[in-house]
Amino acid sequence: MQAEHPDPIRVPVCYSGDFAPDLAAVAAFAGVTEAEVARLHASRVYRVFMLGFVAGFAYMGTVDDRIAVPRLSTPRLKVPGGSVGIAGAQTGVYPVSVSGGWQIIGRTPLKPFDPSRPEPFLFKPGDAVQFYAIEPDEFARLENAH
**Residue 1 pLDDT:** 41
d(CA 121, CA 70): 27
Domain locations in the chain? 9-145
Task: State the pTM of this model.
Answer: 0.92
Distance separating alpha carbons of residues 30 and 10, to the nearest angstrom: 25
Residue 24: per-residue pLDDT: 98
- Could you report the per-residue pLDDT of 22-41, keeping only the tens digit for each? 999 999 999 999 999 999 99
pLDDT-flagged residues of the chain (< 70): 1-6, 146
Name residues whose C-beta falls within 8 Å of residue 8's C-beta, 6 or more positions apart in sequence: 45, 127, 128, 129, 130
The Cα–Cα gap between 80 and 71 comes to: 17
Instruction: Look at residues 64, 54, 137, 42 and name the one whose alpha carbon lies nearest to residue 100.
Output: 54
Q: What's the pLDDT score for residue 53?
A: 86
Domain 9-145 falls under CATH 3.10.100.10: no
What pLDDT score does 144 carry?
Answer: 87
The pLDDT assigned to 146 comes to: 66
* Confidence at residue 51, expressed as pLDDT on a 0 to 100 scale: 94
